[in-house]
Amino acid sequence: MTHRTDIRFVLNGRDVSVANVSADQTLLDFLRLDRRLTGTKEGCAEGDCGACTVLVGRLGDAGLTYAPVNACIRFLASVDGCHVVTVEHLSGPDGRLHPVQQAMVDHHGSQCGFCTPGFVMALYALWMQTPKPTEVQVETALQGNLCRCTGYEPIIRAAIAVRRYGTPASDHLNTERETMTARLAALKDGRRVVSGPENNLSILPSSVDDLAECLQAYPNATIVAGATDVGLWVTKFLRDIGPAIFTGHLEDLKTVERQGSLLLIGAGASYTDCQDLLSEHLPHLSSYWDRIAGWQVRNLGTVGGNIANGSPIGDTPPVLIALGAEITLRRGSERRTLPLADFFIDYGKQDRLPDEFVESIRVPLPRPDDLDAAYKISKRRDEDISSVAAGLHMSVTDGIISDVRIAFGGMAATPKRASTAEAALNGQPWARESFEAAAEALAEDFSPLTDWRASSDYRMLTAQNLLRRFFLENDHATDTPVQLTCA
Amino acid sequence: MKDNVSIIGSAHTSVNHDSAVKHVTGQADYTDDIALPQGALHAYLGVSDVAHAKLLGIDFSDVLATPGVVGVLTADDVPGANDISPTHLNDEPVFPTDAIQFHGQPLFAVIAETRDIARRAAERANIEYETLPHALDPITAQKAGYPHVTAPLKLERGDVAPAQAAAPNRIKGRMSVGGQDHMYLEGHIAFAIPGEDDDVVVHCSTQHPSEAQHMVAHVLGVPSNAVVVNVRRMGGGFGGKESQMNLFCAVAAMAAKKWNRAVKIRPDRDQDMTATGKRHDFVIDYDVAFDDEGRIQAVEGSFAARCGFSADLSGPVTDRALFHADNAYFYPNVRLNSRPMKTNTVSNTAFRGFGGPQGVIAAERMIEEIAYATGQDPLDVRKANFYGTKDRNVTPYHQEVEDCILDRLVGELEETSEYRQRRQDIIAFNKTSPVLKKGIALTPVKFGISFTATWYNQAGALVHVYNDGSIHLNHGGTEMGQGLNTKVAQVVAEAFQVDFNRIKITKTTTEKVPNTSATAASSGTDLNGMAALNAVEQIKERLVKFASETWSVSPEEVVFHANQVHIGQDVLAFDAFIKQAYLARVQLSAAGFYKTPKIHWDRAKGQGRPFYYFAYGASCSEVTIDTLTGEYRVDRTDLLHDVGRSLNPVLDKGQVEGAFIQGMGWLTTEELWWDDAGRLRTHAPSTYKIPLASDRPRIFNVNLADWSENRELTIKRSKAVGEPPFMLGISVFEALSMAVASVADYRECPRLDAPATPERVLMAVARLQAGS
């Protein structure tokens, strides 16, 4: 079967076919420059402000679902087969304001107005998913949207009030759902897509097996899943990423399921895709997960990508290492599995061959009596990169600690286990003194850096205090709260 | 004659922002949204990668060899003066010729067919330089013998030394206060279209169109009448677009004239944050003498500011820090000095409050010191030192405080916030909570309104009434989200007694109102509202004369009311009346003007009345900190703020809420961090953290002091609102400080520096725990 060379999707109401889409062409530039849909704004070009928020509808196993994403770091090629909805598509054919828009107007949710279309789109997505949100749900949905004028209060009031302005059932994305599902289904032709100029190809494999083949053919290609990191290589560092192999559309890479005593997470599953299953089986990750980036980024960013890029400050590796996770890498038809902790060799160096890709992550479920915790410390509570992230796991039997796994992010050149601290706890009694000894031992495990997120001293003291927090939280002798909650 | 009928959108009503519908639909056009003419080019800045160096030369061969590059602009291409210093000190070139003065300094611009090409090509220049030692902060700069960027100010009253000697208590301390990036959501942008002769039109996002116009003319070497600057709206300004847009306007205009094509320049967020100025960081040394009751006897203060490489607006900014170093408190004897230090950093600039917040926070630190030293509730120390109304009412700059309403305002907030009871509850909570600790603080603000550059306190407006009765309103102010256009239109609607929607609010343009002042210093409505009202009154006077003559009634019998004009016993619809006036050849257009009365300022003496009046406010915040990590949460904030008689309560409330959150951000999570090489490493929202929705106080009660009325004759007795509530954020900072102090049983002032990041909070906790 020959490759397709154009990218096809639905933009608002229209079918679009774009030929010669280079790997680094962003959706935002396409909207603003090619289509002059200027309601979508560029505020930061790094997925942190939300001014460029659009909805992308994707036809997956669960049917057609819409999610807010950052158009600035979403590559155009990656919307192949999708429905892209911009702020221009909100008001009805009669020109009347959409309920979300009217609520924003009535509650004075805009001042300078530049961030407003992005807020409207995020609130639109929230309203469709959760028509009667709580204040905390609104805040969680707006973690990826910055406003510098209003102080947010009127926007929250508008978000709560939308329920009085209309119901999602009568919204046109819902009333036209069947038609749109059919239109998107028609775009799925099962072909590999290869678009763009020779030196800057966009490649969309037709399946995971085809992905393995593509990587063999283009071993130096950049693998792009959610682009929440690779996007910045382009928009901030002006790096060439072509040829790029996009994986975000591969449904069979998004598996998230329980298999007996473990959870299987496909490398292409977004943070959002994983959220429900993780919250059900690993409740200690529930609020931690809400603090990974903002909603738009959680809808695109993948656990597989967070691991594969090898960052020392990724949020997921420390907590997954502490749970004893393993990853499976695939090269052609060969697969190998290794403990996640062993994947990280050094700064910028992972145990992955050029034509190999992370296929899945397996997370063993703790036993009922195990103690687990996930902590994230950042300058700002939400939508911030961690200064220190920690995963802790241990068993306590008859008052004796065993099976200790403690991993930290932000403390070394890679996500790393605190082996000296672990040794200081293993076999020791459950007591404050044991944790004090482990805290002391951390100084043997790490010599953290000073940078703009935190000083070395703060990182070390906080890491030590997180061990103390873990003790206090799990010690039945203490009953006063030892951690702030957002509610 | 008058009935219950009234117009829609009169003064003192909560009219929506006039662009609200366009904002939510994405139809509001910002400069980047304007359709480009055929053949438009794009410019991008090339910047230095060293903090201080002798510039030897730049090799552009790789830049020029890039396909799509049209050319480069350097200092050699400046046809007029290579200078965009707003104070005319000639210390800020468009592009430098021999010295690199900060990391990220613009050195040249690349002009290309697309922005992407220009941006990539700008990285390819080969810059030759010889590095020099650099000084990044004001203290290092002082030690290295760096000069002031502009003349320092001294304010002095009373006799400090004897008062210090006589006082039973005296505390000296130092406080570091961080700067702040504006983080307006729309970054800098300018777009120039060349015209015939010397003409050029520049569309941009500036708070100061007239200055941009004069700078472009200056740089091009043409008279100001050749240059038109247009601003429809800004996506936020906050002071960051007062002088900083000059560079972008100058580059776009020079390139447009050189290549005779339209040229747009838009830096990316990182370049916007590294190449343009921010709020000044300060290091403040204070020396406060006080009696055993905590009454201040004498204050001495030195305010060293990181000004950056040039003066820009650092003179008036550091002046204003001194003007507000008293905040709400009477200092019987006082001496304050500013130290506007040159540093090898970007030239700092205006930011909401304009140095005032840095002065206010120093006053609040001294109050804290006294409270911990005397074992009192800080609120009692505050109240003991408030300005009086009859005596104890002279500021360090010798202006009498005539309108102080703090006793009533703070008293009300103290009641409604239940401050006293909650403080007791918090002290009890802290006794039994091992990890989480709480703090509460109630802080006041008094803020002086007027530009301290007296000549800036003037404004113009142009009002046309067309013969169909529709009204076209133009004034010298710029719209950056604050609702200025809405408020001024309300004033016009009320004066003509017509519905608000009859008035078309148009872009700000130097063609219609000349020699305008920056929309800054919270003055937009005060000045432009008055100028517009003056224009309306001129037209109305002609209309009244016409009506009284034509209908043979006395002028008093001509009354504009609710879209009608009552003339004796006759009633005409407004538009029908206007049509008659037009046919009778009445001039239906007027240019209005206003200048603020009463103000004067002698900077050399440090005496005068720089402010027409003061605006007041108070806030009470409660926080919880985690003493294991330094993380915190704002549990509740109550605000009570004075906007005089509000022109538009809902817009004013929006300003108060937004300013509070921005002020809180300045003092909590917004941290500017330079590395040793002088690189700003927090230069985009990924690294520079402004508050999010979830950082709002969990309970947030915001009220305007609706009983307040400006005692001065301002527009409809309202008060300026842009800047004063910014300082309400200080209550969060002081509450954090109290929570920290709890770990040493409130015996010691925690001396938190700002911003109080979780790291600073934890380290202060650790310091106090170790000391106790």
DSSP structural state of residue A96: P
The closest CB to that of A482, out of B436, B661, B686, belongs to B436
Fold of B36-133+199-273: Aldehyde Oxidoreductase; domain 3 (3.90.1170)
Residue of A nearest to B764 (CA): A458
- For residue B397, pLDDT over 80 is answered with yes
The alpha carbon of residue B111 is apart from the nearest alpha carbon of chain A, in Å, by 18
CA distance B586 to B595: 27
Q: Per CATH, is A99-170 categorized as 1.10.10.10? A: no
Collect all residues of chain B within an 8 Å Cβ-Cβ radius of residue A288.
none
Which is it for strands B613-626 and B632-641: parallel, antiparallel or unpaired?
Answer: antiparallel
- Among residues B700, B707, B712, the alpha carbon closest in space to that of B635 is found at B700
Indicate the CATH number for domain A371-474. 3.30.390.50
Q: What's the token pair of residue B660? A: 């509070």
The alpha carbon of residue A379 is apart from the nearest alpha carbon of chain B, in Å, by 6
CA distance A141 to A125: 9
Q: What is the mean pLDDT of chain A?
A: 96
pLDDT of residue A291: 96
Q: How many residues does chain A have?
A: 487
Q: Which residue has the tokens 């091009």?
A: B220
The closest CB to that of A44, out of B20, B29, B685, belongs to B685
Residue of A nearest to B15 (CA): A108
pLDDT of residue A62: 87
The alpha carbon of residue B765 is apart from the nearest alpha carbon of chain A, in Å, by 12
The alpha carbon of residue A32 is apart from the nearest alpha carbon of chain B, in Å, by 8
Cβ(A432)–Cβ(A471) under 8 Å?
Answer: yes
- For residue A479, pLDDT over 80 is answered with no
**Cross-chain Cβ contact A380/B30 below 8 Å:** no
Sequence ranges of the domains in chain A: 6-88+176-246, 99-170, 371-474
CA distance A344 to A348: 8
- Among residues A26, A80, A355, the alpha carbon closest in space to that of A221 is found at A355
Distances (CA, A) of B574 to B186, B478, B499, B503, B567: 40, 29, 10, 13, 11
B172 CB-contact burial (10 Å; exposed 0-12 / middle 13-18 / buried 19+)? exposed
Q: pLDDT digit string (tens) for A117-164?
A: 999 999 999 999 999 999 999 999 999 999 999 999 999 999 999 999
**Cross-chain Cβ contact B654/A150 below 8 Å:** yes
The most distant pair of C-alpha atoms in chain A lies apart, rounded to whole Å, by: 72
Angle at CA B409, nearest 5°, toward B404 and B412?
155
**Cross-chain Cβ contact A111/B654 below 8 Å:** yes
The catalytic residue among B300, B622, B723, B734 is: B723
Q: pLDDT digit string (tens) for B580-605?
A: 999 999 999 999 999 999 999 999 99
Residue pairs spanning A and B at CB distance below 8 A? 264
**Cross-chain Cβ contact B631/A377 below 8 Å:** yes
Task: Please give the average per-residue pLDDT across B215-243, as a whole number.
Answer: 98
**Cross-chain Cβ contact A148/B236 below 8 Å:** yes
**Cross-chain Cβ contact B30/A41 below 8 Å:** yes
Task: Tell me the percentage of chain B whose pLDDT exceeds 70.
Answer: 99
Distance between first and last Cα of chain A: 55
Per-residue pLDDT band at B66 (split at 50, 70, 90): very high
Sequence ranges of the domains in chain B: 20-28+458-595, 36-133+199-273, 371-452+611-771
The closest CB to that of A382, out of B17, B236, B692, belongs to B692
Per-residue pLDDT band at B1 (split at 50, 70, 90): very low
Angle at CA A216, nearest 5°, toward A210 and A217?
90
Per-residue pLDDT band at A195 (split at 50, 70, 90): very high
Q: Which amino acid is at B337?
A: N
CA atoms within 13 A on the CB side of B44: 22
ipTM reported for the complex, 2 dp:
0.97
The closest CB to that of B684, out of A44, A86, A155, belongs to A44
The closest CB to that of A116, out of B24, B234, B269, belongs to B24
Per-residue pLDDT band at B502 (split at 50, 70, 90): very high
B723 is catalytic: yes
Collect all residues of chain A within an 8 Å Cβ-Cβ radius of residue B191.
none
Q: pLDDT digit string (tens) for B557-570?
A: 999 999 999 999 99
Residue of B nearest to A387 (CA): B759
Domain B371-452+611-771 is in which class?
A: alpha beta
**B20-28+458-595 CATH, one of 3.60.10.10, 3.30.365.10, 3.40.50.300, 3.90.226.10:** 3.30.365.10
**Best of B694, B701, B732, B767 to mutate (most A CBs within 10 Å, chain A):** B694
Task: Tell me the percentage of chain A whose pLDDT exceeds 70.
Answer: 99
Phi/psi at B55 (nearest 5 deg)? -85, 120
CA distance A86 to A426: 55
Cβ neighbours of residue A154 closer than 8 Å, sequence gap 6 or more: A107, A108, A109, B654, B657
pLDDT of residue B772: 53
Distances (CA, A) of B154 to A146, B48, B422: 40, 36, 41
Q: pLDDT digit string (tens) for B97-109?
A: 999 999 999 999 9
CA distance A233 to A242: 12
Angle at CA B515, nearest 5°, toward B521 and B227?
120
Collect all residues of chain B within an 8 Å Cβ-Cβ radius of residue A241.
none
Fold of A6-88+176-246: Ubiquitin-like (UB roll) (3.10.20)
Asked whether the bond before A312 is cis by omega within 30 degrees of 0, the reply is no
Phi/psi at B320 (nearest 5 deg)? -70, -30
Taking the CB of residue B231, how many other CB atoms lie within 10 A of it?
Answer: 27
Read out DSSP for A408-446? EESSSSS-EE-HHHHHHHTT-BSSHHHHHHHHHHHHHH-
Q: pLDDT digit string (tens) for A349-402?
A: 999 999 999 999 999 999 988 999 999 999 999 999 999 999 999 999 999 999
pLDDT of residue B215: 98
